Amino acid sequence: MASVLNVPPTEDFTAFNGLVARQGEHLGPMVDWTGKECSDTDGLDGLLAFIKPYVPEAAHFLGDKLRLCQTGMGTIKDKVTTVDRELRTEDERNASAIRALFPEELSGFPDISTVSGGANLGNFSDEAVTLKTPDPPKEFSQGVVGRLAGMKSGHEMIIANKAYKMVTGESLIDQLFKPLTGDWDRLMYLHDAYDTLGDACYTVTATLRKGSWKIGSEWKGDTATAFDSYMFRWTMGLGGVGDAAKEVAKACKDGYDTILTLVRAAVGAIDQLIDSAIKALAKEALEMVAGDAAIEVVGLGPEDPVADVVALGWTAYKMVKIYEKVRAVVRGVTTIVTIFNNIEQAAKQIPDAISKVTKSVGSFINDDQSLTDYVEQRGFEFEKNSGWDPILGAARIGMLPSAT
């Protein structure tokens, strides 16, 4: 019979299991959050339309990992319960069976029980997880097109559009406004949603970390080290999910900030174009219509040959003027289309950044001493501290163990 091992009291195993269960309860709403707030692409139209598939794709990826973690909380509880029941009367036969509950520990993983003062760091206190729905959009809450429509005369735009289409064959309204349809502020909403999810992941991670640290500081032996390594993989992997969420949030905000500047420039250019060249075109077109009507009244009607000659000369003269005004509008439209192209290029950076996050999984190079170093130097919530790099940390998702 082997000597009794130095293991935590049953009360601590029970408290730890209670803490793990509460983290599973926190993870449930977080999974739902990925399927709702993090997947909400309503309004991503116009130049943002191609982003739509990538946002829910990222949300589903993170949701699947969180579901794995939620299932894993039950697995951890079952393993710890078995350990608590069996370790106190351990013999050589069941010792190997108990050890087999946990995967092979990471090579060189430190024994937490040997950390000086480590027993006073961890505890079994739960931490609240807050999932607050992002505030409604602000910058363009009524839509870019709606704002412009309210700023300018719709009648002048319709007249100018007819003259422009007669000359170019294109719709001026479509060229200026169609690319700006949609809800640009949706990007900021998504930033807030993913950022909130990242914070929630960090909170659950830190709570699990301090609870497992408390157990680890009281428990010595091969099985204890295997348990420490096992929980290290869970907390590092779940922290990586938080990092990935933070990176998606950053991609949305970076895109929003860049695009917002360009949208403002486009709105300003359209506003100026309406005030100058478009108004001038509408005025010329209206004068042409009014002139034709006046010729019919002064002359003898459409059948009067004198009226026909006068009208022909008048129309030719005004058409030259209209062509000149259309050319001025075209120059303005060309400038604005260039801005639209820049917006599209900026928007394409968002799915590129999201793809980098999901593709980085499994590339994390682990330093086995990192857990004790991070906790001792930065505390259990080290992901929330400045200096932590989420783009590198997101690869930790690959450290998540099986939930069985």
Tens-digit pLDDT profile for the chain (404 aa)? Answer: 344 457 788 999 999 999 999 999 999 999 999 999 999 999 898 889 989 999 999 999 999 999 999 999 999 999 999 888 877 665 555 666 777 788 777 766 777 776 655 556 789 999 999 999 988 666 554 455 555 544 455 678 888 888 888 889 899 888 988 888 778 889 999 999 999 999 999 999 999 999 999 998 888 888 888 898 899 999 999 999 999 999 999 999 999 999 988 988 988 898 889 889 988 988 888 887 664 544 344 444 445 444 444 444 546 667 788 888 899 999 999 999 999 999 999 999 999 988 888 777 765 555 555 666 777 677 788 888 877 888 878 888 988 998 88
pLDDT score recorded for residue 296: 44
pLDDT score recorded for residue 90: 58
As a dihedral over the C-alpha atoms of residue 157, residue 163, residue 167, residue 169, rounded to 10 degrees, the angle is 60
**For residue 191, what are the contacts with CB-CB under 8 A and spacing of at least 6?**
249, 250, 252, 253, 256
**For residue 167, what are the contacts with CB-CB under 8 A and spacing of at least 6?**
322, 323, 326
Distance between CA atoms of residues 10 and 3, nearest Å = 18
CB 239 within 8 A of CB 205: yes
Q: Which residue, among 215, 231, 239, 143, has the nearest Cα to 186 in the 3D structure?
A: 143
pLDDT score recorded for residue 306: 44
Residue with tokens 């209206």: 286
Distance between CA atoms of residues 373 and 118, nearest Å = 12
Distance between CA atoms of residues 100 and 66, nearest Å = 25
